[in-house]
Amino acid sequence: MSHVFGFLPKAKQEVITEFGLDKAYSTDKKDFIKDLLVFKNQLYSRSFTPEEINGIVIFARGEQPKSGMVKNSPLEHYPYGINTGWKIHITVNPQNYMFVWLWLKFNCDYGWKHTAYATGKEFTVYTYSWENNASFSRKIFDGLNDKLEEPTEKMKMSHITLLGKITTRFNFVGGTKGVILFPSGLGWLGIPTLDKNIRFPFDHEAEFEQRKKYYVEQFIRESIRYLLAFFFKGPKGRVFFLGKNDIVLNVIESSLNILPD
């Protein structure tokens, strides 16, 4: 179970415990902010920032965060071009919105946004590279796992499950002639499907289910070839797509539960 103020960096959580503020919050939420202000100068002396103390206050008040883009990614985080690459989605219940929002604010170096009540995508983190996905999914798992919900079945179809309840998919825009929406959402197991490869209308999900293996092996294979040619020209890209996604082509499951290398 996470610390009551587990959205703070680990060292700051330890200071909160040292001052007994976690117990004060648990026993008397009504007067907690008064207790916190008594220790304000001591917290500053232990390297707390005004943003961290304000975060504790708004969490204690039970406020909810606003939807929208909170932080944009720096340019060096775009290995394949603007808004192109991997992104993480996490599913969160409203009672945990503020905890997760604050955790990302204090622990995430990547661009991210909050979208309230967007089932399965309440929080999106734009990691862009597979390496960033690997390292940050572990950090989310360690810091937030008990605050997350299971992704929907539709999310499991259109995304790859990275670790625990954390999902990811590759996103590309501009110059690629678009992506078609499968009944599952935005592709298959994290791989977007090229609209030029889709020649049959999907009247309903039952038809897709009946011919799922055919669609996966034909359309996803073509999409992977395109992504390799367009974005992943080096050997590392080929290792990812050929190594990981041969599994995608052969295993027809709602989730692969792949832990990234």
Per-residue pLDDT tens digits for 109-130: 999 999 988 788 899 999 887 7
**What pLDDT shows up at residue 46?**
95
pLDDT on residue 108? 94
Q: What is the 3-state secondary structure (H, E, C) of the chain?
A: CCCCCCCCCHHHHHHHHHCCHHHHHHHCCCCHHHHHHHCHHHHHHCCCCHHHHHHHHHHHCCCCCCCEEEECCCHHHCCCCCCCEEEEEEECCHHHHHHHHHHHHHHCCCEEEECCCCCCCCEEEEEECHHHHHHHHHHHHHHHHHHCECCCHHHHHHCEEEECCEEEEEECCCCCCCECCCCCCCCECCECCEHHHCCCCCCCHHHHHHCHHHHHHHHHHHHHHHHHHHCCCCHHHHHHHHHHHHHHHHCCCCCCCCCCC
pLDDT beneath 50: ranges in the chain:
174-185, 196-203, 234-261
Of how many residues is the chain composed?
Answer: 261
Look at the block and give the residue holding tokens 């909050």: 114
Which pLDDT score, from 0 to 100, does residue 16 have? Answer: 95
Residue 216's pLDDT is 58
pLDDT of residue 15: 95
Write out pLDDT tens, residues 171-200.
Answer: 765 433 444 433 333 566 666 655 544 444
Name residue 211's amino acid: R
pTM above threshold 0.85: no
